[in-house]
A and B are shown apart, each in its own frame.
Chain A
Amino acid sequence: MTPLLEVRGIDKSFGPVQVLHDVTFSAYAGEVTALVGDNGAGKSTLVKCVGGIHPIDAGEIVFDGRPVQVHGPRDAGELGIEIVYQDLALCDNLDIVQNMFLGRERKNGLVLDEATMEELAGETLEGLSVRTVKSIRQRVSSLSGGQRQTVAIAKAVLWDSKVVILDEPTAALGVAQTAQVLELVRRLADKGLAVVLISHNMNDVFAVSDRIAALYLGRMAAQVRTADVTHAQIVELITSGRSGDLGLKNGTAP
């Protein structure tokens, strides 16, 4: 199986500090790939390189089998890569439909095509089996944390995305809402998208992921199938970069 998104040998430095060392990472269509690592391991930097926020110093990004250049978020968007950041970037004073189409509004001549946007937003939420929001004309300020996360994810999906990257989507949520978001994450992948899930919560990671990629001090310690590893092995990879046969040898990738 060829990965839909692959980064090969990425280096990234901020001034004198090298944050990513020769990082290779793959995400597959129809699968959830969890990206784990300690604080400062380089998870967010890696994601921002893929999303075109940070230019890469070395290495390449391969999308659907061909090398691509990602010079900005717009390039990433055109490829079908959407990132849902922790802060969600939703506007409190706008309703759900307005948020989902923010900056990419549909027009009918000179006026906004509200009817079509409402229909598309409704269909997207329906397609994801989202039943937790009462009205899609509700202001985002009135939504709970889980509902906001849902809207942010639906927004990413609306644009015919192929890869959706979620940065700690359950971090600020209670148990019931975490369950709903995890099920939504799983459904995205089951619909054929490649999903990348950044999380510190090992139960969330094991609950929905097909593969786990563990970063350790800016290096990819291992990328493994979730079915083949134990919690203890993943914790070892995160904290020491290796676990038995898995992981880094002498601090570098095997």
Chain B
Amino acid sequence: MRAGPSQEDIRRHNLGALLRHVHLGGPTSRAELTSKMGLNRSTIMALTSDLTAAGLVREELPRETGRAGRPSLVVRPESSRVYVFAFDVGPDRLAVARVGLGGTILDRREAVRRRGPFELEELAGMLAGFARQMRRKTRADTVCVGAAAAVSGGVRKGDGVIRFGPNLQAEEIPFGEELGRRLGLGLPVSVGNDANLAALAEHSRGVGVAVRDLIYLHGDVGIGGGIIAGGHLLGGHEGYGGEVGHMVVNPGGRVCGCGSRGCLEAEVGERALLEAAGKLGGGQHGRDAVRAVVDAADRGDIVAQEALKRVGDWLGLGVANLVNIFNPEMVIFGGMLREIYLGSAAQVRSRMALHAMAPQRERLRLRTSALADDATLVGAAELAFAHVLADPLEVLARVTG
């Protein structure tokens, strides 16, 4: 066993850390990097020149500093050159984006997904087709360094297999492998749970930046969640953690897609709201149908108001449980839960006042997602960039070599 990390390990770590700073924080001057990373100026210079030579960042003179002295060079990510593909597979929506280093969405395609059985080949073919279309439009000097997908279901950490996804009608599907094969870029496709990835996205680029303990709740057909504790996502033993939608809040309650009864998802999800509002099977479903109920409630429709109150009550109970267990600094409502929270906040917070313990609820901040409908896609992009940030030069050498 070695006494400590080698010089090469340290350099690799520092390169990744510097790249992470400009990837998440945007253009940053060398002087700021020096103070943020706690390294000396010559080290920062050596690191930036390595990253510049690799084509991951470039250095520019700042516009005007208004201060005396030689201005410090600004390091910016090569957003238009270095990119990843991010995929999002939801019950009603398929989305693909080409996302540049630094998090800029450069190009995107979206399609409606019809609810029905998960047809792996058709779906992977379609997503890969979108990616190819976007790739054809790129300049010759651009380089794709990764690909990742967010899916609405439980994903095995090791191999990107969708183990269960009742709302996608998916079970034991080798999604990452198939999509990687179809893409034909010689890159593996990482796969993650959409709500987990959206939690990471809000944590790194959204309303939860600098918040080390947060819970993100994602409403789609069902309810997903991502728990970030001490700055890290709680994945659990095999990566299935954070399924807050299947926390039982009402034993003997409504039947859930997972086979159980009274799950948070069964009491708060799309189906529960639409059924209570008398709108189930009315032709509309998904976000549009949920928005229509919230809108009707706002206009004074008593049935819609009652439906929203009912759902808000259960949501508040679920959040109170989570707050008692995890003591987060912030709870973020994303996906359709943004509309549901804003439309039923009186119920949600009343429940919390009754059931959440005072020390946990006093300083808790309740917020809506800042990334809105892009949260899952942005999260997938961050997953795709993760290995680049871990070892920038090695990854770049592999994809260009």
A183 and B295 alpha carbons, distance in the complex (Å):
17
Per the bound structure, the CA–CA distance linking A183 and B362 in Å amounts to 21
Within 8 Å CB of B347, what residues of A? Answer: 231
* Chain A residues closer than 8 Å to B364, beta-carbon distance: 227
Q: Which of B79-87, B164-172, B350-358 touches A?
A: B350-358
Residues of B within 8 A of A208 (CB): 345
Structural contact, B345 and A203, CB atoms closer than 8 A: yes
The answer to whether B350 touches A203, judged by C-beta atoms less than 8 angstroms apart, is: no
Q: Among the interface residues A174, A206, A230, which one has the most CB atoms of the partner chain B within 10 A?
A: A206
Q: For residue A230, which residues in chain B have a CB less than 8 angstroms away from its CB?
A: 349-350, 353-354
The answer for the CA separation of A214 and B249 in the assembled complex, in Å, is 33
Contact pattern, A 213-243, Cβ under 8 Å of B = 1, otherwise 0: 0000000000001111111100000000000
Looking at chain A's contact residues, the main secondary structure is helix
B393 to A: closest C-beta gap in Å? 35
Asked if A227 and B353 make an inter-chain contact with CB atoms under 8 angstroms apart, the answer reads: yes
For A231, list chain B residues within 8 Å (CB).
346-347, 349-350
Q: Does A207 contact B (CB under 8 A)?
A: yes
Neighbour of A175 across the interface among B343, B352, B362, CB < 8 A: B343
A179 to B353, CA, bound (A): 23
Q: Is the CB of A182 within 8 A of B342?
A: yes
B370 lies within 8 A of A179 (CB):
no
Categorize the interface residue count of chain A.
20 to 34
- Asked if B291 is at the interface (CB within 8 A of a chain A CB), the reply is yes
Contact A207 B345 (CB under 8 A): yes
Cross-chain contact A227 with B361 (CB below 8 angstroms): yes
Given the contacts A129-B370, A175-B295, A183-B368, A203 and B342 also touching, CB distance less than 8 Å: yes
B344 at the interface (CB under 8 A from A): yes
Question: Across the interface, which residues of B come within 8 angstroms of A182, CB to CB?
Answer: 342
B108 at the interface (CB under 8 A from A): no
Interface string of B350-393 (1 = CB under 8 A from A): 10111010100110101110100000000000000000000000
Most buried by A among B298, B347, B349, B364: B349
Contact A225 B362 (CB under 8 A): yes
B342 and A179 contacting across the interface, CB-CB below 8 Å: yes
Check A206 against B343 for contact (C-beta < 8 Å).
no
Give the residues in chain A near B352, CB-CB below 8 Å.
227
Neighbouring B residues of A183 by C-beta, 8 Å: 368
* Complex interface: chain A residues within 8 A of B346 (CB): 202-203, 205-206, 231
In the bound complex, do residue A174 and residue B295 qualify as a contact, i.e. CB atoms below 8 Å apart?
yes
B338 to chain A: which residues have CB within 8 Å?
179
Is A178 engaged at the interface, CB distance under 8 Å to the other chain? yes
Is B243 part of the contact surface with A, judged by Cβ < 8 Å?
no
Determine if A203 and B353 form an interchain contact, defined as CB atoms under 8 angstroms apart. no
| Chain A 170-201 interface residues, beta-carbon cutoff 8 Å to B | 174-176, 178-179, 182-183, 186
Residue numbers in B under 8 Å from A207 (CB-CB): 341-342, 345, 366
- Complex Cα distance A176/B294, Å? 10
B348 within 8 Å of A (CB atoms): yes
A208 to chain B, nearest CB (A): 8
Q: Which chain B positions have C-beta within 8 A of A174?
A: 295, 298
Report the separation of the CA atoms of residues A179 and B343 in the bound assembly, to the nearest whole angstrom.
Answer: 9
For residue A246, give the distance in angstroms from its CB to the closest CB of chain B. Answer: 12
User: CA–CA, A225 to B361, complex, Å?
Assistant: 11
- Indicate whether B339 reaches chain A with its CB closer than 8 angstroms: yes
- For B362, the chain A residues whose CB sits under 8 A away are 225, 227
- Which residues on B sit within 8 Å (CB–CB) of A205? 345-346
Asked if residues B344 and A203 are in contact (CB atoms below 8 Å), the reply is yes
A210, chain B: closest CB distance, angstroms: 9
Residue in chain A with minimal CB distance to B362: A227
Within 8 A of A (CB), among B154-189: none
Q: Are A229 and B339 in contact (CB under 8 A)?
A: no
CA distance A207 to B298 in the complex (A): 14
- Residues of chain A within 8 A (CB-CB) of B295 are 174-175
* B343 adjacent to A203 (CB under 8 Å): yes
Cβ-neighbour of B294 out of A175, A202, A232 (below 8 A) = A175
Contact assessment for A226 and B291 in the assembled complex, using a CB-CB cutoff below 8 Å? no
* Shortest distance from the beta carbon of A243 to any chain B beta carbon, whole Å: 13
CA distance A178 to B367 in the complex (A): 15
State in angstroms the CA–CA spacing of A227 and B68 once bound together. 49
Identity of the chain B residue whose Cβ is nearest the Cβ of A202 in the assembled complex? B346
Residue from B295, B339, B368, B370 whose CB has the most chain A CB atoms within 10 Å: B368
Q: A175-B295, A225-B362 known; 6 other A-B pairs, CB under 8 Å?
A: A175-B294, A175-B339, A202-B346, A205-B345, A207-B342, A229-B353
**Residues on B facing A (Cβ under 8 Å):** 291, 294-295, 298, 338-339, 341-350, 352-354, 356, 358, 361-362, 364, 366-368, 370
What are some 15 contacts across the A-B interface (CB < 8 A)? A129-B370, A174-B295, A179-B338, A179-B339, A179-B342, A186-B367, A186-B368, A206-B346, A208-B345, A226-B349, A227-B349, A227-B362, A230-B349, A230-B354, A231-B347
Which 9 A-B residue pairs are closest in the complex by CB-CB distance? A207-B345, A230-B350, A206-B345, A231-B346, A202-B346, A206-B346, A206-B349, A231-B350, A175-B295
